[in-house]
Structure formats: C-alpha cells, structure tokens
Amino acid sequence: MDQMENILDGLHILCVDDDPDALELLYIVLARRGARVRTSISGEEAIQVLKNERFDVVVSDLSMTPNFGGYDLVHALRKLERQDPDRPTTPAVAVSADAMKPTNKRRFADFQVYMPKPFDTSRLVRVLDRLAEADGELVKFGSLGLWEAKEAVTAAVVATQVAATATEAASDATAAAMDATSAASEATAAAVDATFAAVKATTAAAQGSIAAESAEKTAATASARAHK
C-alpha cells in the first residue's frame, strides 16, 4: 500500500494549466492521494472560480495566455484576499517548465513554491501537504509584501519627479512674473518721463506764445512812435 495514498485526504485543490494532458496528470496524481481536485484550462477561468470557491492550495502553470498567465492569476488571488479580510490566504505552487527561469515577475510573484516540469510526484504531494498546514499569515507577508513594497517605491519615485517638475515650473513662473514686473516698472518710468517731457514742451510753447505776443506789442508801439 502506498504510504502517501491518503495524505491529501480532504484537501480542496485547484489545478490550472492550458495543456489538457498536463491538467489530467495533475488531477490523477492528486485525486489518488485523497484530494478533491477542480481543474481550470486558463487563468481567466480560474480567477472566476476563485471568486466563488475557496481552496486549500492552488497549483498553476506559468506560461498560459500571454495576457493572463500564472503570475497574473495568483497575484489577482492575493488582491482578492486583501479585499476580503475574512478570506483565508491560499498557498500557491507553480508547476511549469519555466518555473526555474529567473524573471522580474518571479522575483515579486505570489507563489510560495516553484517546481519544474516534469515534476516529481512524491515531492509535489509532500509540498502540498505542508503548504496546507502552513500559517496563513506567513503566506500573506511573503512575496506579496515585496511586490507591494516595490509598487510603493515606484509610486514614491513618480511623486518625487512630479513634485520636482512642479517646483521647476513654479520657479520659472516666479522668474517670468519678476521679469514682467520689471518690464512694467520700466514702462511706467518711461511713461512718467514722456509725461514730464510733454509738460516741459507745453510750458515752452506757452512761454514762446507769450514772448511772441510781447514782441508784437513792442513792434506795434515802435511803429506808432515812428508815425508821430
């Protein structure tokens, strides 16, 4: 008798893979160990299932639909758990030919274990058994925390850049306002000078008019005396 025959007895496990043969193999291996297994052929289908059902463990391939692969699936699951504090944290295992490839997504992903294909049946079963018994808080503060920390740092950098741009724009606006004020002051001074010059010209014209009238009177007096 297989000592691991019923080791997964009672566990509810969701298996996700876009390869029907790989999905069937996972189903057979886990069901024979006593697990209740549900399968999904895509990440999109699996996230809908996860919205309505709770599982003890999720086992997923990585390279599925380009727009919604295994990383996207489990990250979406973590977001569901964050939105619902009463929802237990579900451990996740990546079983994929790409499981051991270093990528930026893997560094901040939300899987607890990575296993390459073809997988070791006994090892997979032992891993699932241990994860099902793991402390949910340990899962919550695992890679998800790193992912969120990275997003927070990125947001802070963007905010700093925006603030720097705004400060620079404000400085430019202040300099432009100072230039405009200076130009306005110069224009006012020029207007005052022009007004003063106009007043002087008006005064000179008035004085010239008076002088002309005086000259005319003097000429008239001289003419009158000459006729006598």
Helices (H), 41-96: 43-52, 70-83
Domain holding 41, by residue range, is 12-139
If you average pLDDT over every residue of the chain, what do you get? 78
Residues 37-70 pLDDT 10s: 999 999 999 999 999 999 999 999 998 877 888 9
Return the CATH number at 47.
3.40.50.2300
pTM above 0.75, yes or no: no
Question: Does a structural domain hold residue 162?
Answer: no
Q: What tokens appear for 174 in the block?
A: 């202040």
Beta-sheet strand order (sheet of 113-116)? 36-40, 12-16, 57-60, 92-96, 113-116
Question: Does a structural domain hold residue 74?
Answer: yes
Question: Does a structural domain hold residue 156?
Answer: no
Question: Could you say which DSSP state residue 18 is in?
Answer: S
Question: Does a structural domain hold residue 108?
Answer: yes
Cα 100 to Cα 122: distance, rounded to the nearest angstrom: 19
Cα 160 to Cα 113: distance, rounded to the nearest angstrom: 36
Residues 23-34 pLDDT 10s: 999 999 999 999
SS3 of 192, please? helix
Picking from 32, 226, 199, 221, the residue whose alpha carbon sits closest to that of residue 122 is 32
Say which amino acid occupies 17. Answer: D
| Total residues found in the chain within this entry | 228
Question: Does a structural domain hold residue 1?
Answer: no
Under a CB-based contact definition with an 8 Å cutoff, are residues 89 and 136 in contact? Answer: yes
Question: Does a structural domain hold residue 227?
Answer: no
Q: Considering its fold, how many domains does the chain have in total? A: 1
> Where is average pLDDT lowest: 12-21, 75-84, 134-143, 206-215?
134-143
Question: Does a structural domain hold residue 83?
Answer: yes
Question: Does a structural domain hold residue 110?
Answer: yes
